A and B are shown apart, each in its own frame.
Chain A
Amino acid sequence: MTARAESFRTRNSVPFLRQAAAIAAKDLRIEIRGRHALGTLLPFAATLLVSFGFAFGPGRDVLERTAPGLLWMAMLFAAVMAARRSYQAETEDDALEGLLLAPVDKAAVFLGKAIAVALELLVLVIAVLLMVVVLFDLSPGNPFALLGAFALGTVGLAAVGGLFGVVAEAERTREAVFPMLVLPLVTPVLIAGVRATDLATTGQAGEAAQWLGLLLAFDIVFVSVGILVFGHLMED
């Protein structure tokens, strides 16, 4: 534990957070150039929501009531795809080895990638919210509570996805292993996110506080644990 703490400071001249920021910036630059979030995730989310509409509709009542759930289901799938994409970019050019050899704190790689994925998801969730408001008659509700839920939720999803994204690129990984791993773990984000969104959009924003607290606790736990264990996933 002390060795780890030491490495944060003394590993190299660049401080830990700045390393993470650099990695996040790199990932975001790749993202902006490749337009994955806009080009792939957004249409995917739209398709998913329309499909939900067909599956649970056409009665507007059911759709309005399940709208927060559908929003977060779309975000869960998008998070899996975004996290996978984040690591795909590395393995495509064998850049992962470069990352391993670079004098970079492994935990900073995790934090940087998680930050990048979180920002992508945050942009995406705004768009998804607009789609849900339009398609399912969801009233926008309290913006602060909503933003809180989205910010905290996307961080949680990004932390878990960013942590295990390496597994998605393993040698014989069958397609389903990565989502199979991530989805059960982010259950608290799903439950709390949906509850908070539901309360925020039905005029009960005050009661959303406990769910936002749960999201915050989840984020703190997973970011901390991720920083601690990520190095073990990256060695080879």
Chain B
Amino acid sequence: MISSCRFLPRVSGLALFLFLVMPYPSLVPARAADPAEIRIGYLHLAESKQQPISLLDEPTDDDGIAGARMAVEDNNGTGRFTNQHFSIDDMRLKPSDDAAAAAKSFIDKGILLIVVDLPPGMVLTAADAGRASGATLFDAGSSDDSLREEDCRANVIHTAPTRSMLADALAQYLAWKRWQRWLLVTGSHPQDALYADALKRAAKRFGATIVEERIFKDTGGARRTDTGIVQTQRQMPVFTQNAPAYDVLVAADESNVFAGYLPYRTWDARPVAGSAGLVPTSWDPAHDSWGAVQMQNRFIKLAHRRMKAIDMQAWTAVRMIGEGATRTQSADPAKIIAYIKSPSFEVAAFKGQKLTLRDWNLQLRQPILLSDGRTVVSVSPQEGYLHQTSELDTLGYDRPETKCKLN
């Protein structure tokens, strides 16, 4: 008798009604004081209209902020027991807007903990504007290494992984596969060159050889044309022909101009990695290990779509604030930040181990997922890459190499 014995249909209508209208009635004992309020600001750009190569990658209106909202819910789940309440104030900027003014308007409202999903220049402007008032930024959106190195700030904590962390994560896996000869294809935009630099550094660190680097020039044009497929099918083999012998094509295309067209279209039968094919990322909608299924389910329930890397990076930032508030039993931003920067800080984020902060540049240490777009193929650091402090420090710039001088 295997029948579907679910609980809900068995509860009487009234009980169910009471349960739904009075969430957690018994869990909040009569308290003298209202919950301590922890307000978090969220600064991001207006929705991008730039079309991605794949229709599946279209930006959504709530990219990132949806992750922050879920973390607020999670924090409030704990807050019921600790008499703390978290909320988020969301502000959207145009690329031409003044990030300093935006940060100040949060500070004027007493909001000193601000999650930002902004380009590197705007992150710095906002950080410097907020510094005197004691505001701390959580950089959830920028993978720029310079923000953690020469341009690091004592009031910017980074939950987004850097390009060098992503590139090292990929290089470790390719080394494990012994795909050590790379054909590097780089886009023609500045951020593509930065990613290519990180990949070149990774190749050197993990013993790969770049047999040739080619630049794919962005000549503009629309992503969507009804018969675009016909041209792409001819263009990509031609672009990749006559390459020296290689094991894997590694693409640096942060601008999403061409990499998505490479798999199955290279002249030689070779796998693609980097900006397409096997992609290093902080999160993937298919990640299902270490309890991640619960996270994915909760996110879909809240946002009615699947969870992206930027959502995870924003979730982690707000959860870090939640951890700070819970552990210090305080709503004081200074105390919360002092805890996050202390050696006792750690946060769980469905990556199979605790995430901690690099004290020399305030970058969150984290395992990096390698996704093929359907499944998580592997998670770096790979076994065997040892480190005296944390194996996670085999990813990205390590303490001895850093150019960062905090304060």
Do A and B interact? no
Residues of A within 8 A of B (CB): none
Residues of B within 8 A of A (CB): none
